[in-house]
Structure 1
Amino acid sequence: MLLNKCSSTREPMETSAWVLTSLDSRTDKNCNGKKCLLSMLFINAVFIIVFFWYENKPIRWHYESRLRCRQEMLYDKPQIFKPPRSDVLMVTPWLAPIIWNGSYNIDILNAQFHQRNVRVGITVFAMKKYTVFIKTFIETAEQFFMVGHKVNYYVFTDRADDISNFTLPEGRQLVILEVPSYKQWQEVSMRRMEMIRDKANQRFYKEVDYLVCVDVDMRFSDFVGVEILSDVFGTIHPGFYNAQRGSFTYERRQKSTAYIPTDEGDFYYAGGYFGGTVEEVYKLTNFCHKAIMTDKHNSIEAIWHDESHLNKYFLYHKPTRILSPEYLWDNNFGVPQFLKRRRFVAVPKNHNEIRNKRAL
């Protein structure tokens, strides 16, 4: 049980003897006719006001202060020798937690983030025909994403008219950000680092505390809350959660700024799910955008575009929190035993149809 008490003290109530003695003294010296009567009434009135102020107001204040300051939360005591999970890695060598089902108490976390009045922004890119995914994304997010917290949905799109209006509860809003269109989906993928960086510098820092940057062709299928929030976080790619670093699809060409040697690397992070504070997301996206532009100047394109540069960034700027594959999954991979929850899953689609030029 967490218990914080704000104790309040009350000055001891002075007895009425002093007032009565003063009254008797004044009465002996000045008591004559109406003047004496008025003086007595005045002094009695003052005595009554003082008495009730001391006796009642401190009691009410003390009661209200206990309601405000005393917080109780009941939960099982953490056990030093009984970790919540022993089947998966719970912490990295640099002491960043890896978030799995059972590794946290969401009630404690919600209470902490509510005290800070945190607002979360979530960014998606709905370019060209990808606007068809917005409805499912928003509707499932309203069921499962940051429930009970303030949220801004930032939708980058070149087809604002294709996005329906949504009725959202108080504290949650949809913000449409119109951006230029690009011919190739690869360029959209790389340019999103630049767009997030620019908006973080222009407006996000004034409107939200944290940013969560995800792909739009997904749906929430279980709760995702403040347990993911940290200075800067990445997500383990569902296709490489148990792979050796040599098989990671890092950029292996030394000419690219995204190059990572075969004997380096911690995890393979997904480009479709990262975030952190606005300041840290700005640093990340600024790094990636500059690297992408350098590669473009050198006539090279990293093998997995912005995801390759994201992995290079996280190799030398370690994330302070890592999300397990629970937070980004594709049901085509099946359901391994360690996966207790599938919180954010890919929507089945025909990539060629969505990306085909004739469909754009």
Structure 2
Amino acid sequence: MALFPFCKTAAGAVRVSRIQLVLYCFLLSLLIYFLHGRKAAVGVESPHPVVHALGMDRVMTDMTVIKVTAPKTPLQTPWGDPLVWGDTRKSALRRAKFAHRGIRTGLLALVVGTYAQFVRRFLISAETHFLPGQMVTYYILTDNPRSLDPPIQLGPERQLKVVPIAELPGWDRLARRRMTLLADAIRNPIGSEVEYIFCADIDQEFVAPVGEEILGDLVATLHPELYGMPRNAFPYEVEELSSAYVEDDEGDYYYTSELYGGLVSEMHRLARACSLLILQDHANGVTAKGLEESYLNRYLIDYRPTCVLSPEYSWWDSALAPDVPVQRIVSLGRQSEAFHNQKRESRVLLAEPIEV
């Protein structure tokens, strides 16, 4: 009995049917293969069919990886200089660059009146975190040298120098004289003793490493409460009669006066220029709203810093301050001020009558 209805018993017919059988088997195999392949294709269909059809899966995968690993924080200013975050690869490279160089850096702070209560905390925390392993000289400009008794134990290649100044009662007088005191101190004795000098408010605490990544010709620090804010939110000086006046189309960032520095030559130039502008305004009966911080920002608009420090290097607990990867320097004074401001706002809200 024939296996297939097309098979014949004659010899010629049998030969033909065998050829047909081979063809049928081949066609059946193709059909099974096609159906199986189609089913498999449906099971693994790309979520981007057009991209898949163009063979660009690999490109999309690479783009996805780049998107995930891209930095969440800017590493460069609009004019191309570094914007420093301490734990980035660029900061590690900057630290390595200076690690084996014998650099002497000064850290200057003004200590007057009740601010003497912060000096020991400031110095002890700086000994732990400020340029560890480098040569550092602390310059304390103070009207009360006894506030540094008993002496603080310093590490190797670290020293403390007290620069006595006259008593400066009142905020207005202190604001007028601060830049002049800084310029005079840099001219003598600081200028001949260190390569870099940083000016810091004494009511701060170093809470994490602050290394060689901060070194630069002219260094400024972003104000934490204004970081990421639009330009029109910056409290630049708006009084046109003031030497600190900033026009609407000027300015990239708003900088804090809590920490700034650089080469001694650049810092002397900055302090001298700001002090002259302050004295000029005082002679004309003008006081900038932000005091010396207004003049600092005016100067840094005219002479952009070569290194900008992120809010990691000046931070305090405030509703406006951003979350940062690492808090490195915390302002105790401004943190207290922010707390009291929030407390006052809460009292005002509680005191307001509720309309029914």
**Does 2:271 correspond to 1:285?**
yes
- Indicate how the Cα distance of structure 1 residues 229 and 98 shifts in structure 2: closer, same or farther if over 3 A, else same: same
Once the two structures are TM-superposed, the CA of residue 217 in structure 1 deviates from its matched residue by 0.4
Q: Distance in 2 between matches of 1:150 and 1:84?
A: 36
State the shift of 1:163 in Å.
1.7
8 Å CA contact 2:125, 2:206 repeated in 1: yes
TM normalised by structure 1 equals: 0.71
Distance 1:335 1:284 in 2: 27
Residue 311 of structure 1: SS of its match in structure 2?
helix
Of 74, 93, 100, which aligns to 2:78?
Answer: 93
1:262: how far off?
A: 2.1
Q: Deviations over 1:290-310 (max 9, x none)?
A: 000100111001111110000
**Structure-1 separation of matches of 2:111 and 2:290:** 19
Give the number of aligned pairs: 271
Per-residue Cα deviation, 1:252-301 (whole angstroms, up to 9, x for no partner) = 01100000012221000001111000000001001100000100111001
Change (3 A) 1:148 1:157: same
Given candidates 202, 205, 229, the residue that maps to 1:243 is 229
Residue 299 of structure 2: SS of its match in structure 1? helix
Residue in structure 1 matched with residue 342 of structure 2 by the alignment: none
TM superposition shift of 1:106? 5.7
| Structure 1 residue 89, shift from structure 2 partner | 1.7
Residue type at the aligned position of 1:225: G
Matched, 1:204 2:190: yes
1:183 maps to what in 2? 169
Q: Deviations over 1:21-57 (max 9, x none)?
A: xxxxxxxxxxxxxxxxxxxxxxxxxxxxxxxxxxxxx
Paired letter, 2:132? V
What amino acid sits opposite 1:98 in the alignment?
L
- Tell me the CA shift for residue 185 of structure 1: 2.1
Greater CA deviation, 248-257 or 96-105? 96-105
Q: Return 5+ residue gaps in structure 2 as ranges.
A: 1-65, 338-356
Aligned to 2:209: 223
CA distance in 2, matches of 1:287, 1:307: 13
Partner residue, 1:344: 329
Q: 1:147 aligned to 2:147? A: no
What amino acid maps onto 1:321 in structure 2? C
Mapped to 1, the partners of 2:240 and 2:296 lie a distance apart of: 16
Q: 1:207 to 1:333 in 2, by over 3 A?
A: farther
1:264 equivalent in alignment to 2:262:
no
How far off its partner does 1:108 sit? Answer: 4.4
Residues 91 and 151 (structure 1), Cα distance of their counterparts in 2 relative to 1, 3 Å cut: same
Cα displacement (A) at 1:332: 2.7
Q: Which one has a bigger Cα radius of gyration?
A: 2
Letter in 2 for 1:102: D
Q: Residue 103 of structure 1: which of 67, 76, 88 is its match?
A: 88
User: TM (normalized to structure 2)?
Assistant: 0.72
Give, in angstroms, the shift of residue 243 of structure 1.
1.3
Return 111-120 or 91-100, whichever deviates more: 111-120
Letter in 1 for 2:174: V
What amino acid does structure 2 have at the position aligned with 1:283? R
The aligned counterpart of 1:304 is 290
Give RMSD over aligned pairs: 2.1
In the alignment, is residue 276 of structure 1 matched against residue 274 of structure 2?
no
Matched AA of 1:97: P
Q: Is the 8 A contact 1:238 1:329 kept in 2?
A: yes
For 2:317, the equivalent position in structure 1 comes to 331
Q: Is residue 195 from structure 1 mapped to residue 181 from structure 2 by the alignment?
A: yes
Distance in 1 between residues matched to 2:96 and 2:77, nearest whole Å = 26
What does residue 104 of structure 2 align with?
Answer: 119
Kindly indicate whether the alpha-carbon contact (under 8 Å) linking 1:295 and 1:301 is maintained by their aligned counterparts in 2.
Answer: yes
Q: Specify the code of the residue in structure 2 equivalent to 1:304.
A: G
Q: How does 1:154-173 map to 2 (within 5 A)?
A: 154-164=139-149, 165-173=151-159
- Distance between the aligned counterparts of 2:270 and 2:138, measured in 1? 20
Q: Secondary structure at the match of 1:122?
A: strand
Identity %: 33
Alpha-carbon shift at residue 182 of structure 1 (Å): 1.4
Which of the numbers 219, 223, 227 marks the counterpart of 1:233? 219
Contact 1:154-1:177 within 8 A present in 2 as well? yes
What is the CA–CA distance in structure 2 between the aligned matches of 1:82 and 1:176, rounded to whole Å?
Answer: 51
